[in-house]
Amino acid sequence: MKFTPLDVRHQEFPTRLGSYDRTSVRAFLNELSDDMETLLQQHQALRDQLTGLERQLEEQRQNEDEIRRAVVAAERISHELRENAVREAELMIAQATLQRDATLRDAESRRAELESGHQARLAALEAAFRGRFADMEREHHELIRERERAQAERFAELERAFSERHAELTSRLTAARQEYSQFLSGYRALMSSFTDLSGRHVLSEEAPLPSTPLPSTPLPTGPLSA
């Protein structure tokens, strides 16, 4: 900006007969200086607010990356738990198989005299093994489903919280940009009014005083940034 509020407040004009009232011109320049100073303060406040909002949005993006890493870690833990459960089941099956083989060898040695009792005992052991294995397999599946459900609920909760926070920050950023656009419109209107007034300012009715319109540096019209 070429002119500051202080420049406007202390601007001097040559005097001739038939010129404007210097007191009125000075009062107008003082009011214009006050308005420019207020607008500049509002502009700086809006830029500071926008900077804060963009910083919060960046932090939210970092939180999103942390959530994704947490989800990947949870999936890895779930996979490891499933593998451990399968290994434990296989170990129990192997142990049960060894026990069954031992029972069969013992029963074979006593087969001649305990044939009928051995058959009943073997059937009971096999039934117990199948029942126990079925119970363990059912418990294993229930445990996996419960952990998957808990992980899905946690992920949904984190995703919902992120979406709500992201929407809030986006809304605040949009509002700040709208306020900044309104500020630019008001500033341009003020500078246009001042330029028109300077162009119409004639110090003498017979010989107009040559004057040069006060140039103004156009403000940026692109997207609001930090």
Return the HEC string of the chain: CCCCHHHHHCCCCCCCCCCCCHHHHHHHHHHHHHHHHHHHHHHHHHHHHHHHHHHHHHHHHHHHHHHHHHHHHHHHHHHHHHHHHHHHHHHHHHHHHHHHHHHHHHHHHCHHHHHHHHHHHHHHHHHHHHHHHHHHHHHHHHHHHHHHHHHHHHHHHHHHHHHHHHHHHHHHHHHHHHHHHHHHHHHHHHHHHHHHHHHHCCCCCCCCCCCCCCCCCCCCCCCCCC
In a domain, residue 210? The reply is no
* Tokens 């107008």 -> residue: 28
- Rounded to 10 deg, the angle between the 111-200 and 22-109 helix axes is 170
pLDDT of residue 3: 56
| The dihedral formed by the CA atoms of 202, 208, 210 and 212, expressed in degrees to the nearest 10 | 30
In a domain, residue 192? The reply is yes
The mean per-residue pLDDT over the stretch 128-147 comes to 88
pTM: 0.28
pLDDT of residue 173: 92
Q: Is 208 or 92 the better-scoring residue by pLDDT?
A: 92
Per DSSP, 214 falls in state: P
What digits encode the pLDDT tens for the residues 12-67? 665 655 666 677 777 777 788 788 888 888 988 999 999 989 889 888 888 888 88
Per-residue pLDDT at 211 exceeds 60: no
The mean per-residue pLDDT over the stretch 68-72 comes to 85
CA dist 143 and 130 (Å) reads 20
Q: Specify whether the backbone of 216 is left (phi greater than 0), alpha (psi in -120 to 50) or beta.
A: beta
pLDDT of residue 75: 86
In a domain, residue 87? The reply is yes
Cβ(224)–Cβ(50) below 8 Å: yes
User: Dihedral of CA 82/85/91/94: which sign?
Assistant: negative
pLDDT of residue 19: 66
What digits encode the pLDDT tens for the residues 107-122? 677 777 777 776 777 7
**What mean pLDDT value characterizes the chain?**
79
pLDDT of residue 205: 44
The mean per-residue pLDDT over the stretch 117-142 comes to 85
In a domain, residue 214? The reply is no
Q: Percent of the chain scored above 70 by pLDDT?
A: 78
CA dist 57 and 62 (Å) reads 9
In which domain, by residue range, is 181 found? 5-200
Q: Is 4 or 40 the better-scoring residue by pLDDT?
A: 40
In a domain, residue 208? The reply is no
In a domain, residue 74? The reply is yes
The mean per-residue pLDDT over the stretch 202-218 comes to 45
In a domain, residue 220? The reply is no
In a domain, residue 213? The reply is no
- Give the chain's domain count: 1
